[in-house]
Amino acid sequence: MQELTSKEINKMKHCIGMDYKKPYKRHGKEFYKPYRNRYVTYIHDEVWNGFVGKGFAGHEMVDEQQMTVFYLTRKGLDVLGDVIGVHIYNEED
């Protein structure tokens, strides 16, 4: 199992809106369907670049202020779900 710091978990949860909307329970298990998958920050963000390096995230084009939109990949969603014990669907599902 992948280890994540509480800071990393919080950034990932915020990215998919899990800090505002809670998972639901069915048959004793927790599930979550993200309503978003984006985190806007500077391209040089250490945590998000670490996620990209591990295959947990990707990013869009960088603008003139060096800002970009990071997003979690399926691998990132799976790792977060494993760590917090929640099945996380793709936001497109």
The per-residue pLDDT for range 13-59, each reduced to its tens digit, is 999 999 888 888 999 899 999 999 999 999 999 999 999 999 999 99
CATH architecture of 6-88: Orthogonal Bundle (1.10)
Supply the DSSP symbol for 21: S
Q: Taking each helix axis as running N to C, give the angle between helix 74-84 and helix 6-15, from 0 to 180 degrees, rounded to the nearest 10.
A: 120
Q: Count Cβ atoms within 10 A of the Cβ of residue 79 and give its class: 0-12 exposed, 13-18 middle, 19 or more buried.
A: buried
- Threshold 0.75, pTM exceeds: yes
Q: Where are the domains of the chain?
A: 6-88
pLDDT band with cut points at 50, 70 and 90 for residue 3:
confident
**DSSP one-letter string for 30-57:** EEE--S---EEEETT-HHHHHHHHHTSE
Question: How much is the CA Rg of the chain, to the nearest whole Å?
Answer: 13
